[in-house]
A and B are shown apart, each in its own frame.
Chain A
């Protein structure tokens, strides 16, 4: 027994030693191998070869199929595992130790195959192959059972406590390895995925003219996309760290640093614009944009970002801005030059507007006088210009040339330009010059000279400059027209005034002449009349009949001439006497006129019908009375033979004026004479028929006109007449 015991003891020790060797080999395999399948195979092989197990196999759990699949085997199988079906479920095929090990996660040991009921199903075959004991050890990955290691020994009771403890430790080793392998696999897969993404973005960056970059947390560049070299010419390895800043525009260094500091402080995206030098030495504009990538443990791990080339956009923006400024300037200029018609305003507006946005350092504005240019204004206003520069001959210097050619003259460098003959601009430190003619059709109205101290591509600005000058030219054209118009208008005014004065003087002279003639005629007439009457009275007896008749003729003629002269004097006096305008009762004026004619009214037996009420008339009372007297006198004179005069005086108000009407039942007037009767000395009848001088109605007309009124007649031959006078009311 002892020996047996000793033998048994020896065997046990040998078995344990083998198991230790197995564990050691497997641990070595764990370190060496990365693939679970390889490990499984190695485990099975080592278990049989080193551990002297009759059979070792590993089944992997297929969770979806609820089965254990044979994945590795070694030892004396003799087809026992062919078609093996182990379920992980609690069904007959799952009740063998392997299925239970999976389900329960515990080691299943069968030390007596001959009698153990758990293995009744496979007992016969197993005993036949010499399996007397077995152990099923679950293998875990992340504490989940993923496989089962099954070992078969030819000795019943092989799996004692010590063996199970060792094999459990071994399966734990394997579980650890499987977990590590799964982790590693997961890590590898993630890494691969990351690399794919990174490659994808790098390709995208390159294709889009982008530079992608990565910096460490401190902002040192750790990676640039290859496009960096394409854009700057700098090899990426030189650009790393802060090497790239060599290509940053010096003026942008500080703002970029500030933007970076702000982004770091706020742990927020970084965005700024800067210029980078290109391989040609010029600068291109970039938009830099980066975001912080956080470390899992907190804090910024790195920054990733891109630089986008926005040069084209910047240029378009600048062009747009310039165009906008030009349009605004043009608009303001157009307003200013069109608002003012004074030449001074247009000149000032032209000079001031030309300074912006063309922003020359000097501006001079000339206007054409005959074949010369005369300076009208300059900016700066204190510009020292000599007499020579104040007046330019046709073709002299650049401005004179512009006048001569009627086209703009541009000079990038006046110091090297033989056409620039005057010194003022050169002495003022100017370099580039533009002489722009103001054109009105073909005609040059003047020239605008603009000069710049720095080199300017003046012709590049020609479009805008010529537009500005065109606007000013419109203003100048208008202002010049307006000036001429005003000159003409003043001249016309002066002439009209002069003529009026001459006419008034001539008229006055004529009236004075007429007056003095008529006046001087009276003295001799008085003598003729006087002495003829003396003869007729005192010496009538000494004359024969013929003598008496002739003397009577002289007396009558002299009397008539006396009346003519008196009426003529009265008429001419009308135009010379001053008017005393005041309101008066028209009825009283009419009564006075009737009183004046009382003798004639009585002599003719005339009846005069008057209205009961009278208006107040505004005018010179003497003239008004003369009008009334003459109208009544006229009506009494031109009566029909054998018909007693019947006069009717009426009045009405029309359009704020008094219309006075004197109607008679006299001889009437044919329409063709109705105008003529108001002219001086115009008579329709002989003195024998109707005595008169032909001045009475002319006086009525003139007097009415002097009072701002008018006179007319409505009549038909033999039907009587109605004379109308329009008079001012109050």
Chain B
């Protein structure tokens, strides 16, 4: 783990973005975080479209933190497109949502989600979740090779 991991946060709620980013700061993680405010922007970033053409400036993330309920292209749609695209399909996608709905849970895994986390209401709880994501997904877990082997 020479370089710090890069994170793509897909979240439409500005307050949640701020809290998440604060939590990352509080956890003193040296990760870089790119925030996409909706599904369309997330897909543009991941596929290097429009202003995100420069991969040096906008590198592919090591993990994606994905909210489900978003206007327009929602989290499920983003998930389906990511998992259908060879270049990005191996990037772990962690669903970060307020929903405890069984249906949402099932559909997320069906669409290829790697993990499903429910946002706690309290900031302390939230902090704990972010810390655990950091520990597990970015340090403990061995990520997939991002380029095709061929």
Contacts and interface: CB of A to CB of B under 8 A. Distances in A.
B101 A573 contact: yes
Interface residues of A, number: 21
A531 interface: yes
B22 A559 contact: no
A558 B120 CA distance: 12
A534 B121 contact: no
A526 B67 CA distance: 15
Q: Among the interface residues A519, A526, A569, which one has the most CB atoms of the partner chain B within 10 A?
A: A526
B100 A534 contact: no
Contacts of A562: 121-122
Interface in B1-35: 13, 15-16, 19, 22
A529 interface: yes
A290 B101 CA distance: 112
A511 B19 CA distance: 30
Contacts of A519: 98-99
Interface centre among B15, B119, B122, B124, by most chain A C-beta atoms within 10 angstroms, is B122
A533 B119 CA distance: 16
Contact of B122 (A529, A565, A573): A529
B52 interface: no
A519 B100 CA distance: 9
A348 interface: no
Contacts of A558: 121-122
Interface in A519-572: 519, 522-527, 529-534, 558-559, 562, 565-566, 569
A526 B119 contact: yes
A562 B22 CA distance: 20
Contacts, number: 54
Contacts of B126: 526, 530
Contact of A533 (B16, B101, B124): B124
B19 A523 contact: no
A531 B19 contact: yes
B58 interface: no
A577 interface: yes
A133 B100 CA distance: 178
A533 B120 CA distance: 13
A534 B102 CA distance: 32
A523 B15 contact: yes
A576 to B, nearest CB: 9
B136 interface: no
B121 A526 contact: yes
Given A562-B121, A562-B122, A573-B100, A526 B22 contact: no
Nearest to B23: A530
Given A558-B121, A562-B122, A569 B100 contact: yes
A559 B15 contact: no
Contacts of A524: 15
Contacts of B19: 526-527, 530-531
Contacts of A531: 15, 19, 123
A531 B120 CA distance: 14
A529 B121 contact: yes
Interface residues of B, number: 17
Given A523-B15, A523-B16, A530 B99 contact: no
A689 to B, nearest CB: 23
A704 B102 CA distance: 20
A534 B101 CA distance: 29
Contacts of B100: 569, 573
A110 to B, nearest CB: 169
Candidate in B22, B99, B102, B123 with the most chain A CB atoms within 10 angstroms: B123
Contacts of B124: 533
B124 to A, nearest CB: 6
Contacts of A525: 121
A565 B98 CA distance: 11
B107 to A, nearest CB: 15
Interface in A669-697: none
Interface string A589-611: 00000000000000000000000
B17 to A, nearest CB: 10
Nearest to A518: B98
A399 B135 CA distance: 98
B98 A534 contact: no
Residue among A523, A531, A558, A562 with most chain B CB within 10 A: A523
A526 B122 CA distance: 6
A307 B82 CA distance: 121
Contacts of B99: 519
B122 A559 contact: yes
Nearest to A524: B15
Contacts of A532: 123
Nearest to A527: B15
A631 to B, nearest CB: 22
A705 B112 CA distance: 36
Contacts of A534: 22, 123
A525 B124 CA distance: 14
A524 B123 CA distance: 12
A234 to B, nearest CB: 113
Interface in B94-127: 98-102, 119-124, 126
A533 B122 contact: yes
Contacts of B121: 522, 525-526, 529, 558-559, 562, 565-566
Contacts of A527: 15-16, 19
Contacts of B16: 523, 526-527
A529 B16 CA distance: 11
Contacts of A573: 100-102
B123 A529 contact: yes
B123 A523 contact: no
Given A523-B15, A523-B16, A530 B123 contact: yes
A566 B121 CA distance: 9
B102 A577 contact: yes
Interface string A391-410: 00000000000000000000
Contacts of A522: 98, 119, 121
Contacts of B119: 522, 526
B74 to A, nearest CB: 14
Nearest to A577: B102
A533 B99 CA distance: 23
A179 to B, nearest CB: 145
B65 to A, nearest CB: 15
B119 to A, nearest CB: 6
Nearest to B19: A530
6 contacts: A519-B98, A522-B121, A533-B124, A559-B121, A566-B121, A573-B100
7 A-B pairs with least C-beta separation: A562-B121, A533-B123, A527-B15, A530-B123, A530-B19, A522-B98, A526-B121
Interface of B: 13, 15-16, 19, 22, 98-102, 119-124, 126
Given A526-B126, A529-B121, 8 more contacts: A523-B15, A526-B123, A529-B122, A530-B19, A530-B22, A531-B19, A532-B123, A534-B22
